[in-house]
Amino acid sequence: MSTTAPVLSTFQDESNFEFEKYEKKQQDRGYLNPDWKDETHLFENLKNYYSINELADHLSQRDDQNSPKFKKITLQFPDSLVADSAIVSQLLSEALRKYQIDVQPKAESQTEKKHTQERSLSISCSGCECSDCNCSDKFDSKEGLNEQEVWILADTAYSACCIDEVAAEHVGGDVVVHLGDACLNAIQKLNAVYVFGKPYLDIELVVKQFKETYPATDSKVVLMADAPNSRYLSELYSKLKQSYKEIAYLDISLEKAHNSKIIDHSPTIFTSSNTIRISNRLLISDSKLEEDELINYSLFHITEPQPPHLLYLSTKFASISLYDPSSNTINQGPFPSLMKRYRYMHIARTAGTIGILVNTLSLRNTSLIINEVSKNIKEAAKKYYMFVVGKPNVAKLANFESIDCWCILGCGQGGIIVDTNNEFYKPIITPYELEMSLNPTVSWTGKWDVDFENLLNVQENNENQESLISEDNDGNSPTLEGEDEAPEFDPVTGKYISTSRPLRNIHHLEIESTSNNEENQLVKKFSTTVAIKGTVSTSATYLQNRKWTGLGSDFLNDEEYDEEGALVEEGRGGVARSYDFDVKDQQSK
């Protein structure tokens, strides 16, 4: 007989827990100077990278009562920079405290202050023992030096490039300090401060890679970079234009962020009136260029932009080359294509229910674009539902199966979902694509616009076209009362769709209740259609046509299913180690 106990569990050693360990103790910070790995220089490099002194100088402003203007300061970090959040918060707090010590007016001398403390102490104590009260807390040596609080926003509610007003309001923040790359979109409520950072970039290596990518000196190229690396574009442009005559660059436009403060950033002084706006950038060139001519130019972009911004740029230029500063390599594709977007537009054209997915709450024209999109969907006789789910993902959107197509409202730089891997179950389009898909005829020039203001301007200039659409909805419906609409051909599936406009003939619908008891019912079922308050519900119809309509519905088709159900019986009692019948069996033995 073996004395070794049987193995009842899988053997576990250190290899089973490798996923809980960090392979490297240091965070990769390729955006800093080459000597960043030396811990003695890390704090100094981060202090210089984020311009802590300039930031503290701005945040130390005081009002007329000599109180801090910004008492609660929130620091918003993207995922790529969140490893620096604790150090930056510490450096900023120390700088603010030092500034308060240096500039805080001293209205009384140390002797007068001491007498004042003793006199106030004797009054407040009222004869009690100082060890029994907290009267001395107000005379702490750090009094008045902790007037400002610094909070870290490590997880943004929506796009990392936008100001997160929602998270800042949770702590009652007075100002949001946005660190890293930013879209500079206009916000509604809070004060905003931008710190792009000062990343390390070897200009000579960039020039070398540029010349290898474009060996012909007559190449037409436009330079561009993210917000942190845009500080090097002017210098890079000056070195390259000596050899390349057909060259230009896109610098940051501060028009939308004129009410915000940008720390340690010197805007380019435009000496020429030849400037073209592309998204949140201004095109600068010595030669006169038109926006339509950019399709003949190539784009040389430092760092890789977000997928929606990359897709937008691919519609503006002939080709794109992405330069990675950390690896000194060039990436020329493949990039997101517009072919899938054209397919999504046809799906939205025959969709009966459209979900408006709000992926931002801080942009200035969010409410206006929501009203405009909902109005267009109504005029197209389609149904819509509005959703605010935070950061959208596959699991969240999969819960709403009755939605045929999603229209996302978000920042054009990083707030629009470009489903390159086909992860989402339903297509996701932009308001611009939805506007074109709802037109009687789909005509597309190949442009892809994600700016809310441009879409609103287009709506104002298309009054004649909207009147034609309304006439088409009213006049081109020769169906008689009680008859169905003519089906619409879907080029994606090759089939005819009869549910693309569920609200088109709603004025022909007449419902007669069979009894007075049904007048107060919310949902009425007549024939094979479901109506809610006199309106045909596409969601209820969708639920009715599903194979699985809820718990217990799978028993209805079972031949042995008993509608009365089983009798209630007493179950097993006790706990797992000692059930009642086990105790009885042991007692009987």
DSSP of 510-562: ----SSGGGTT-SEEEETTEEEETTEE-HHHHHHHHSS--STTGGGTT-TT--
Spell out the SS3 assignment of 192-254: EEEECCCCCCCHHHHHHHHHHHCCCCCCCEEEEECCHHHHHHHHHHHHHCCCCCCEEEEEECC
Please report the pLDDT score of residue 223 as a whole number. Answer: 92
User: What tokens appear for 520 in the block?
Assistant: 């107060």
> Residue type at 313?
L
The C-alpha atoms of residue 71 and residue 341 are separated, in whole angstroms, by: 46
Closest CA to 498 of 484, 509, 510: 484
Please report the pLDDT score of residue 459 as a whole number. Answer: 61
Please report the pLDDT score of residue 407 as a whole number. Answer: 92
Quickly tell me which residue has 């259609």 as its tokens.
Answer: 529
**Pairing mode, strands 329-331 and 383-387:** unpaired
Please report the pLDDT score of residue 118 as a whole number. Answer: 47
Q: What are phi and psi of 170, to 5 degrees?
A: -65, -30
Please report the pLDDT score of residue 177 as a whole number. Answer: 92
The C-alpha atoms of residue 156 and residue 77 are separated, in whole angstroms, by: 8
Closest CA to 262 of 179, 156, 169: 179
- CA distances 177 to 49, 85, 147, 236, 363, Å, are 15, 12, 18, 29, 17
The C-alpha atoms of residue 551 and residue 44 are separated, in whole angstroms, by: 62
By the 8 A CB rule, do 87 and 123 touch? no
- CA–CA–CA angle 343, 315, 357 (5° rounding): 55
Please report the pLDDT score of residue 15 as a whole number. Answer: 57
Please report the pLDDT score of residue 355 as a whole number. Answer: 92
The C-alpha atoms of residue 273 and residue 73 are separated, in whole angstroms, by: 39
Domains of the chain, earliest start first? 34-102+145-195 (3.40.50.11840), 203-331 (3.40.50.11850), 339-463 (3.40.50.11860), 509-545 (no CATH)
By the 8 A CB rule, do 379 and 279 touch? no
**Which residues of the chain fall short of a pLDDT of 70?**
1-26, 34-39, 102-146, 267-275, 442-443, 445-446, 452-454, 456-486, 498-499, 504-542, 544, 549-550, 552-563, 565
- In sequence order, what are the residues at sequence separation of 6 or more whose Cβ sits closer than 8 angstroms to the Cβ of residue 390? 157, 158, 396
Please report the pLDDT score of residue 187 as a whole number. Answer: 78
User: What tokens appear for 411 in the block?
Assistant: 């920042």
User: What tokens appear for 449 in the block?
Assistant: 């616009």
Q: Is the alpha carbon torsion for 325, 330, 334, 338 positive or negative? A: positive
Please report the pLDDT score of residue 302 as a whole number. Answer: 92
> Residue type at 32?
L
By the 8 A CB rule, do 150 and 78 touch? no
